[in-house]
Amino acid sequence: MPGMAGRLIEPGHHFEWAWLLFQWGGTQHREAWRAALRLIDIGELHGVRDGFVMNGLRDDCSVLDASARLWPQAERLKAAAFAARMTGEARYWRMANGAAESMCLYLQGRIAGSWYDRRTSEGRFIEEPAPASTFYHIVGAIKELTAAVNSP
């Protein structure tokens, strides 16, 4: 796409697509696993600031939108927990722990059972209706974290 729209990178999608590649790759497609781990590394290196996955980068990895929605935090947790479980590498366990910590802050909304959807680049959570579609991301993250923690 021309212009800025063609330069947009959403780090949350790096984590989400990494998890999807893990699922598709299974044990049959090691190249999918390598690509997934690379997506996680890029997302973590360039897309996480102060423990939160930012909304947007440019294609040169400069920050476009340093605010942070909840769903990318959940996708980071989901990808990191899966990678930790499958590789056993400490860095993915640390990443999963950090993602869980940041995600929990979104879940401390004023109404029990609700969550904040957005955090400003200054670190304030915005009081606004939260999309119900985020629940899908939350459940997926919890499922992967539970599987990782309970794995032998």
- Could you tell me the domains of the chain? 4-149 (1.50.10.10)
pTM exceeds 0.85 for this model: yes
pLDDT of residue 27 exceeding 80, the answer is no
Averaged over 126-148, what is the pLDDT? 94
pLDDT computed for residue 101 by the predictor: 97
Cα torsion for 78, 40, 14, 109, to the nearest 10°? Answer: 40
Supply the mean pLDDT for the chain. Answer: 94
Q: d(Cα 24, Cα 72) in Å, to the nearest integer? A: 20
Q: d(Cα 3, Cα 127) in Å, to the nearest integer? A: 32
Averaged over 91-116, what is the pLDDT? 93
pLDDT computed for residue 83 by the predictor: 96
pLDDT of residue 6 exceeding 90, the answer is no
Q: Looking at 48-57, 92-101, 127-136, which range is the least confident one? A: 127-136
35-93: pLDDT as tens digits: 999 999 999 999 999 999 999 999 999 999 999 999 999 999 999 999 999 999 999 99
